Amino acid sequence: MLRPIFTVHVGVDSEVLVAAPAKDVAALFADPDSAASWFPIGVEFDEERPRRWRAGSRFTVLVGLKGEEVRFAVAVASLNAQGLVFRAEGAAIALDGKARFQRHDRGTRVHARVDVSGHGLTGEVLGSTALGLLHGGALDRALHVVKREVEAAR
C-alpha cells in the first residue's frame, strides 16, 4: 500500500517597533547567548557555536517538538542592519526565517516571517506543531522579548 506524501508549507508574520537603531537590533540577533531569552522554545547547541552569528555562520541545534528531539542544521544567509535571513533544516522539517529592519521615526520597525515546510508524515506532525506554536503567538512573544532587551540595553 502506498502512503501519501504530505507537504506542509505555511508561514507566520509578526511585527514590532523597537525604540533603538537597527544596528542594536542586529547586534542582539548576532549574540548566540541572547537566543535563550527570545527563541520561543528551548534550544541546545549540538556543537561549538560561533562567538557571534553573521552571514555564513553554520551551527547545529537540538529542539524539542512534540516530544521528539529534532536536530536542525542552521545557516545564516545574512545578518546586518537591514535584517536577518536564516534556514534551519531538520530531517523532515525546515524553518525559513526572515526579519526586515526598517528605519522608523521612533526607532526600528522589525517585520519577521517564519515559513515552515515539512515532508512525509513526520514532517506533517512536526510542521503542524511548529505552526501551532507560531500561530499561538511564539513569534509575537519572541519579537517582544527582542524589543524589551534591546530597549533595556540602551
Cα distances (angstroms) measured from residue 45 to each of 35, 73, 80, 86, 142? 11, 10, 23, 16, 19
Count Cβ atoms below 10 Å from residue 94 Cβ, excluding itself.
20
Q: What angle do CA 18, 12, 8 make, to 5 degrees?
A: 155
The residue extents of the domains of the chain are 7-152
Q: Is the pLDDT of residue 38 over 90?
A: no
Task: Render pLDDT for 56-111 as a digit per residue (tens, 0 to 9).
Answer: 999 888 887 767 788 999 999 999 999 999 999 998 899 999 999 999 999 999 99
The CATH number given to 7-152 is 3.30.530.20
CA pair distance 61, 144, nearest whole angstrom = 23
Q: What angle do CA 14, 41, 26 make, to 5 degrees?
A: 50
Is this model's pTM higher than 0.85 or not?
yes
pLDDT confidence of residue 115: 94
Q: Which of 18-27, 61-70, 132-141 shows the highest mean pLDDT?
A: 18-27
CA pair distance 153, 25, nearest whole angstrom = 11
